[in-house]
Amino acid sequence: LKHAVGVVRPVSVAFEVIANFRLYTGGVFTSDDCGSGPMDVNHAVVAVGYGVEDGVPYWLIKN
């Protein structure tokens, strides 16, 4: 994924929006919550970059 995003082009990504993600306002979002299967996926975004902030790796996404 890093190679595709960094060298080729942005990549579409699907994931589960969990309750605490709805309150996200900025910065690196982290959570230990994780869906259990493909039926938990309820949102799609585009990954356009990546990096590390204070030792925490992150993906830069566009809604």
Q: Which candidate, 2, 3, 15, places its Cα nearest to that of 59?
A: 2
In the predicted structure, residue 39 carries a pLDDT above the cut 90: no
The single residue listed with the structure tokens 């590390």 is 52
- What is the CB-side half-sphere exposure of residue 59 using CA atoms within 13 A? 18
pLDDT tens digits along 19-34: 888 888 888 888 888 7
What residues make up the domain containing 33?
A: 2-62
Tell me if residue 3 is catalytic. no
The pLDDT of residue 55 is 92
What is the domain count for the chain? 1
Active site residue 63: yes
* Catalytic residue, candidates 3, 20, 42, 43: 43
